[in-house]
Structure 1
Amino acid sequence: MALETILLAVGHGDRDRIDRLAEETIDVAGPAGARVVIGHVFTEAEYEDTIDNLEFDRDAENLSADAVAARHATIRELQKHFEDAGVGYDVRGAVGEHGKSIVELAKDVKADRVVVGGRRRSPAGKAVFGSVAQEVMLSSPCPVTFVRADTN
């Protein structure tokens, strides 16, 4: 099976692992010649807060999830990494539950691989707070690469 499309799922908690997520994705996408879809999923509240924080003109500007994601600082950092590495990319945004929306985005872009970040959690922590990465790993239509946050 050819590796043509990689979905790099990025969320509000990934700011501290942007370099690592980019590096791991480039290590796979570069040699395979795959295109990366940088996907950012917002909850409704995160979406509204981001529109306000980025000072979108609600009357004049495109407020699609794709447009809002493309202006997000984390996404712009990732774009620079991919441009520097010569890896092609697109930006997609979605509004909804993080895990479910990432899985839907993977299906929509026909991803051959999903890259998702996370941190170590105890089984009790996962049970109480849930785990986006775990939901993606269990429900994704394709293999998932989990990039764990640095533990130092």
Structure 2
Amino acid sequence: MKILLAYVPSATAEAALEYALAEAEAKDASLLVLASEAALDPAKGAAVAGGRPLEDRLEESGLEIELRTVPRRDDPADDILDTVENEDIDLVVLGIRKRTPIGKMLLGSTSQRVIMEAPCPVVCVKPQR
């Protein structure tokens, strides 16, 4: 089994990361982390995780993990969906946040597009309050 996690430094992505790591361990699955360039910038990505770089946290898990950086694009759903198709992904994990109906209409929704177009199950994780 292969799990894909889309990661951009944020509280929602941190919740999704925790879920994806637990799911990969429980299912003895490999994990492919698609990370934005900002996720590997110590000034940006590490700030979300209390100063710990993403690479270190992934390595500490002891799981089979591939970390892949993707450049910032207008629609990150393209990167996610292309990877799902090309890498034979079995499950996608996304962090989500609440948005107003107007915000969704004007800006679109990466998670909504991935949910609708991915040929595999998609789990959306939100941070605990």
The TM-score with structure 2 as length reference comes to 0.77
Q: Which amino acid aligns with 2:104?
A: K
User: Residues of 1 paired with 2:67 and 2:116: CA distance?
Assistant: 24
Instruction: From the CA coordinates, give the structure whose radius of gyration is larger.
Output: 1
Structure 1 counterpart of 2:79, from 76, 82, 101? 101
- Tell me which residue corresponds to 2:111: 133
Provide the residue aligned with 1:89 in structure 2: 65
Q: Secondary structure at the match of 2:94?
A: strand
Q: 2:10 aligns with which of 15, 27, 49?
A: 15
Aligned pairs, number: 120
Query: Alignment partner of 1:119: what SS?
Result: coil
Instruction: Supply the distance in 2 between the matched residues of 1:24 and 1:102 (Cα, whole angstroms).
Output: 18
The answer for unaligned runs of 5 or more in structure 2 is 47-51
Structure-2 separation of matches of 1:35 and 1:103:
18
Residue of 2, 5, 10 corresponding to 2:2: 5
Q: How does 1:56-75 map to 2 (within 5 A)?
A: 71-73=40-42, 74=45
Distance, in Å, in 2 between the alignment partners of 1:18 and 1:26 is 12
Query: Which amino acid counterpart does residue 8 of structure 1 have in structure 2?
Result: L
In structure 2, how many angstroms separate the alpha carbons of the residues matched to 1:35 and 1:72? 24
Equivalent pair of 1:82/1:88 in contact (CA under 8 Å): no
Compare the two structures and name the one with the higher helix fraction. Answer: 1
Q: Could you tell me the TM-score, scaled by structure 1's length?
A: 0.67
2:53 corresponding residue in structure 1: 77
1:32-54 deviations in Å (ceiling 9; x for gaps): 11110010256xxxxxxx6xxxx
1:29 matches 2:5: no
